[in-house]
Amino acid sequence: MIKSHHVEKATGVGDPQCFKGEAGAAKFKVGDRVRIRNLPDIFYTRSQMYLREAEAVVVKLVYESPPAEDEAWDNTDSPEWFYSLLFKQTDLWPDYPQKFSGDTLETELSERWLEAV
């Protein structure tokens, strides 16, 4: 039975729990306004195109984990903080009805995708 280092680390602990404490100090805090960077994603990403360059508010620091772009290649060397971000639907979609300007979308991105506004 072959087991990767990641499996040994996560067994009985859980993923992403097994990366707790590995990302260092978080760059952003709850309430911060951020913009989603439009980074290249030649090989793999989970950062959706519809979020790129949109602004959002940090609502929760959710966990530490290697970003998907690294983890896809079994690279778990550099875990990052992940943030739950709240977007206004009217910021994401140009023709979203202003009548429903309170509608929002929440999703998560890792720290490398965020820049302070």
Partner 1 sequence: MSNSDDHDHDHNAAPMVEEISDFEVLEVAVRELCIEKGIFTQDDHNQWTEYMHTLGPLPAGRLVAKAWLDDDYKQLCIDDPVKASLAVGVDWVNSMPSKFGTPSDYCNPRILVDEPKVKHVVVCTLCSCYPRPILGQSPEWYRTPNYRRRMVRWPRQVLSEFGLQLPEDVEIRVADSNQKTRYVVMPTRPEGTDGWSEDQLAEIVTRDCLIGVAMPRADRKVDDKRHVHKAIHPYGH
Nearest CB to partner 1, comparing residues 14 and 24: 14
What is the closest distance, in whole angstroms, from the C-beta atom of residue 75 to partner 1 in the complex? 14
Nearest CB to partner 1, comparing residues 27 and 90: 90
The beta strand positions in 1-117, using DSSP E, are 33-36, 55-65, 80-88, 104-110, 114-116
Per CB under 8 A, residues contacting partner 1 are 1-2, 7, 10-18, 46-48, 50, 62-63, 65, 68, 82, 84, 86, 89, 92-93, 99-100, 102-110
What is the closest distance, in whole angstroms, from the C-beta atom of residue 89 to partner 1 in the complex? 8
What is the closest distance, in whole angstroms, from the C-beta atom of residue 11 to partner 1 in the complex? 5
**Which residues, 6+ apart, have CB-to-CB distance to 56 below 8 Å?**
33, 34, 35, 36, 85, 86, 87
The whole-angstrom separation of Cα 12 and Cα 27 is 29
